[in-house]
Amino acid sequence: MANIDSPFGLRATRMISGAPYSGGESSYRIANNYDTAIFSGDLVVAVTGGGIEKYDLSAATVPILGVFVGCKYTDPVDQSQRFSSYYPASTAADDIEALVIDGSDVVFTVQADAAFPVADLFGNFQVTAGAGNTRTGTSGIELSVTSGADTATLPLKAIDISRDPDNSDVASTHTNVLVVIQNHVFGQKAAGLA
């Protein structure tokens, strides 16, 4: 059966050890008026000044801090406390707090932008720059299948194909893949298999 085409960014699935993911997140700052939206499931990086920003494909060798899952801040219009599954670009608030899954041993599920062959497992991969959904707050990034290489600075390492019956067909586009963050700020993993 063909896979369902519905990008969702990275979604925590389990730990490398096989243990269930416990839901642990850490809090980080987003700078007042940061001009780029960040969606739930987007990769984020630590930046000079003590905050985080969305991973930029043009700075592809920068280590990944983790996966953004939401934020809270004081609304600049009505001064109420806002909780959101995405960060709206250019929010004027001094107290923007991002929630990030930053464990280097978390396994994530991500949709591939093409058919993902089993032979590519344990290779390293880049992501695509898909648009996020402001209604649901969900990321639009996918794993870029054609970027597979042994380059240690690529952000993701594919470790298995998802067992999800709706997206586990390796012969059709949009296979769901289990990945870990390869180039993690808390420790880079080994080079991928070529």
* The 3-state secondary structure of 152-177, one letter per residue: CCCCEEEEEECCCCCCCCCCCCCCEE
pLDDT digits (tens, 9 = 90+) for 149-191: 888 899 999 999 988 877 777 777 888 999 999 999 887 776 6
What local confidence, expressed as pLDDT, does residue 167 receive?
Answer: 72
* CA Rg value for the chain: 16
* Cα 190 to Cα 152: distance, rounded to the nearest angstrom: 7
Chain mean pLDDT for the chain = 90
Q: Answer for the pair 150, 182: CB distance below 8 angstroms, yes or no.
A: no
Q: With 80 as the cut, is the pLDDT of residue 1 above it?
A: no
Q: With 90 as the cut, is the pLDDT of residue 27 above it?
A: yes
Q: Answer for the pair 69, 99: CB distance below 8 angstroms, yes or no.
A: yes
Looking at the chain, the whole-number percentage of residues with pLDDT higher than 70 is 96
pLDDT digits (tens, 9 = 90+) for 107-158: 999 999 999 999 999 999 999 988 999 999 999 999 999 999 888 899 999 9
Q: How confident is the model at residue 192 (pLDDT cuts 50, 70, 90)?
A: low
Domain boundaries defined on the chain: 11-17+105-186, 26-101
* Cα 89 to Cα 97: distance, rounded to the nearest angstrom: 14
End-to-end alpha carbon distance in the chain: 29
* pTM (two decimals): 0.91
Q: Answer for the pair 160, 177: CB distance below 8 angstroms, yes or no.
A: yes
CA torsion angle 18 24 26 30 (round to 10):
90
